Chains A and B, each alone.
Chain A
Amino acid sequence: MLGKLLKHEWKSVWKIPTILLCVLMGLAVLAGLGFASPIWDSGLEGLGVLAVLSWMVFYFAIMGVSVGIMLYLAVRFYRSMFTDEGYLTHTLPVTTRQLLFSKVLVMAAWIFLSMVGIFISIMIAGGIAVLFLMCQEFSWREMRELLYMLQQMVSSQIGIRFASFFAGILFMIPAMIVYGTMMIVGSISIGQMVSKHKVLGSIGAYFALSTVVQIISMVIVMPMLFYHIVNGTENVFDILTPTYWIMGLLECVLAVGLYFLSEYLIRRRLNLD
């Protein structure tokens, strides 16, 4: 049944995020070309403006798409679970765990895919821009020097720290995705208990949860920061790396907690109008 749930959940959400990401790819190409355009003909003033404009549009598109996909996933979750659609969703011959798990998995997958999509779009925009630069006055030597500098930075005395910092980020990304998903799922599951104001309840729950999480993370991270400030730290990675690990762990714990809370609320406190 979990397989079927996943299949149908995927089928019901894939379209809009895919369209949004495709639009973003298109804008990335435009932005890349826009950046390269002044080089074609530097005589015209307007082209410079165009270049800046295309990058601004691209920048806002990235923000829009990431927020848009999150919002879309949240709305789909809300609608399928707690509006009239819920009468079908909750009478399927599945357990609450299977149901919620399939929703969370597909939602997390899409948040991940949107991050990948945004990363790719930036690569496209940057790639096109670099490609044009290379055709023009940009020299290979400068490029090689730049890469060499980066390599030096990584392999120098902070090399090991950089690697562990990178591992911290790699750990934090999935933690962040799962945590982000569970924040949405959790706040909607709490918010639906407010009869007749479910949406408002969900938004309220989201802000309340965020605030609580912020306070918790402050309480945890602050002493560590103080420790480093007081003792004098020679390297910024000494602060950043453990912070990432701790934040990642905290997000994991919160995500698991929110999952069980949501499951309990859906099983015991479902409130369809």
Chain B
Amino acid sequence: MSGLVEIRNLTKVYEKKRTALDGLNLVIPRGKIVGLLGPNGSGKTTLIKILNGLLVPTGGQVLINGAVPGAQTKARISYLPERTYFQNSMRVKELLEYFADFYEDFRMERAREMLLSLHINENDRIKSLSKGTREKVQLILVMSRDADLYVLDEPIAGVDPAARDYIIKTIIKNYNEKATVLLSTHLISDIENILDEVIFIREGRLLLQTTVEEIREVKGKSVDSYFREVFAC
């Protein structure tokens, strides 16, 4: 079967001629946990925004399940952006209803169970929750969907080790097994054990796409040290 995501010659040039993606070619397979790795400003977030239909590419093409980003692909992608996107006056309960209403693949019981285990009251308003709790609620909502593709943008940036473990466990326990998890990060060592594959990008171009097994067993290195080596030059 063809890849879940097929990216051909993808280019994005912002105002003032700033090139974020420069002819990127990439196929993201199904059923894998894939790390999207690259230094800050390498084009990770731009690529993620294009996948989610938040940006229109300057050139090239993105196909998800054979379709260009739109209402149809959005129904099958579960996206965790770097920002928390809640309307703060909403209650947790209302958010659950919102997700259940719009996303057919949203599993209410699963979300409820996870909220319960964190002792989050569904009647609480978002604004009464701490920043860390809000981020967890957002992760719970995203991971309560049985999507085809989970796109998680820097899910562990700026969190303490306990929260990081919680996040990683939540991802592994809940993602749909037939789905692909695309996970962008610059904190490779924290997350490399859960990856099947890695994609290294730099300056909007694909530098390397390989399996973690290849790096560990053939090259005999951790992904983190291999990354440092590749990007050292």
Contact = CB atoms under 8 A, between A and B. Distances in A.
Q: Do chains A and B touch in the complex (CB under 8 A)?
A: yes
Interface of A: 1, 4, 7-8, 11-12, 79-80, 84-95, 98, 195, 267-270, 272
A85 B86 contact: yes
B53 A90 contact: yes
Given A8-B98, A87-B85, A270-B54, 19 more contacts: A1-B102, A4-B101, A7-B101, A85-B86, A89-B85, A90-B53, A90-B54, A91-B52, A91-B54, A91-B74, A91-B77, A91-B79, A93-B71, A93-B75, A94-B71, A95-B70, A95-B71, A195-B15, A268-B56
A93 B74 contact: yes
14 contacts: A4-B102, A7-B101, A8-B98, A12-B87, A85-B86, A86-B54, A89-B85, A90-B53, A91-B53, A91-B74, A93-B72, A94-B74, A95-B71, A270-B54
Contacts of A268: 56
A84 B71 contact: no
Interface in B60-74: 70-72, 74
Contacts of A92: 74, 102
Contacts, number: 60
A9 to B, nearest CB: 11
Contacts of B81: 87
A93, A94, A98: residue with the most chain B Cβ atoms closer than 10 Å: A93
B54 A84 contact: no
A269 B54 CA distance: 9
Interface residues of B, number: 26
Nearest to A86: B85
A8 B77 CA distance: 21
B70 to A, nearest CB: 7
Contact of A85 (B52, B72, B75, B87): B87
B57 to A, nearest CB: 11
Contacts of B101: 4, 7-8
A94 to B, nearest CB: 5
Given A91-B77, A93-B75, A95-B70, A84 B102 contact: no
- When A and B form their complex, which 9 residue pairs have the shortest distance between CB atoms, in order from nearest? A93-B75, A88-B85, A84-B83, A87-B85, A87-B81, A93-B74, A95-B71, A93-B71, A4-B101
B48 to A, nearest CB: 11
B74 A85 contact: no
B69 to A, nearest CB: 10
Contacts of B70: 95
Contacts of B194: none
A272 to B, nearest CB: 6
Interface string B103-116: 10000000000000
B84 interface: yes
Contacts of A270: 54-56
A2 to B, nearest CB: 12
A268 B15 CA distance: 14
Interface string B42-59: 000000010011111000
A240 B92 CA distance: 53
B72 A80 contact: no
Nearest to A4: B101
Contacts of A98: 71
Nearest to A193: B15
A1 B86 CA distance: 20
Contacts of B49: 272
Contact of A80 (B15, B53, B55, B87): B87
B144 to A, nearest CB: 14
A94 B101 CA distance: 12
Contacts of A4: 101-102
Contacts of A85: 85-87
A91 B54 CA distance: 7
A79, A87, A270: residue with the most chain B Cβ atoms closer than 10 Å: A87
